[in-house]
């Protein structure tokens, strides 16, 4: 096995990729690389990059492959990614998958986990999601009254993101089917794809993922 453990986590928006990646980070001591988080941080900082992509994110669209590929390259060059990474939200397209192959070289992608969740369920999850503007903690509609719209962890404002509005959700899911779903066939042909039932509880999904990684001899 190469020195790097590179895992890709695929699935519709709202499938629970971020939740599972945060758990696996602790398991395997490799960072979660979420292009969505990187882009939102840039928007919050008001950087030139943030200004460029803010409108795209708010409408539920996708940022260009060229820009996303550059972000991932920069992130992979940081010290904490020397042992590998969990890729959350990347690649989204075949172009990005090929760019990732070129970036990783001989290390390559070791396993691709597809969190399979019904469209109805992810739509429900996304439309009820609320996020702290400061620290990114996720809440649900049912939590808002209890916390009075203020994050319990940092005191920041808890809001509904623009891309979690119904129209943006529909657009994001349409884009997923058009651009990202073909990646399943791409990785399946290479024997790297494993589909996990994401309709289970988060704990059950984590257990299933750990079992797959163990069976593949990756940890």
Tell me the catalytic residues.
17, 92, 129, 161, 172
The DSSP bridge pattern shows strands 158-159 and 84-88 to be unpaired
Local structure of 135: helix, strand or coil:
coil
Task: Report the candidate in 77, 90, 83, 84 with the shortest Cα–Cα distance to residue 39.
Answer: 90
d(CA 196, CA 153): 31
The answer to whether 86 touches 21, Cβ cutoff 8 Å, is yes
Question: Is 117 within 8 Å of 198 (Cβ atoms)?
Answer: yes
Strand partners, 169: none
Contacts of 17 (CB under 8 A, 6+ apart): 9, 10, 11, 88, 89, 115
Whole-angstrom distance, CA of residue 61 vs CA of residue 64: 10
């Amino acid at each position: 096995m190469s020195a790097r453990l590179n895992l890709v986590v695929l699935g519709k928006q709202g499938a629970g990729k971020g939740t599972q990646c945060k758990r696996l980070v602790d398991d395997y001591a490799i960072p979660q690389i979420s292009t969505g988080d990187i882009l939102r941080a840039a928007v919050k900082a008001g950087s030139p990059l943030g200004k460029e992509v803010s409108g795209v994110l708010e409408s539920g669209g996708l940022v260009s492959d060229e820009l996303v590929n550059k972000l991932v390259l920069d992130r992979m060059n940081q010290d904490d990614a020397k042992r590998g990474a969990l890729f959350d939200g990347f690649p989204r397209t075949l172009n990005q998958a090929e760019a990732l192959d070129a970036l990783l070289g001989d290390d390559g992608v070791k396993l691709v986990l597809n969190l399979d969740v019904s469209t109805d369920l992810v739509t429900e999850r996304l439309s009820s999601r609320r996020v702290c503007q400061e620290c990114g903690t996720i809440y649900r509609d049912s939590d808002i009254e209890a916390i009075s719209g203020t994050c319990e962890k940092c005191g920041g404002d808890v809001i509904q993101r623009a891309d979690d509005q119904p129209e943006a959700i529909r657009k994001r899911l349409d884009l997923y089917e058009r651009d990202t779903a073909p990646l399943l066939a791409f990785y399946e042909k290479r024997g790297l794809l494993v589909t996990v039932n994401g309709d289970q509880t988060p704990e059950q999904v984590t257990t299933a993922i750990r079992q797959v990684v163990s069976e593949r001899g990756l940890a």
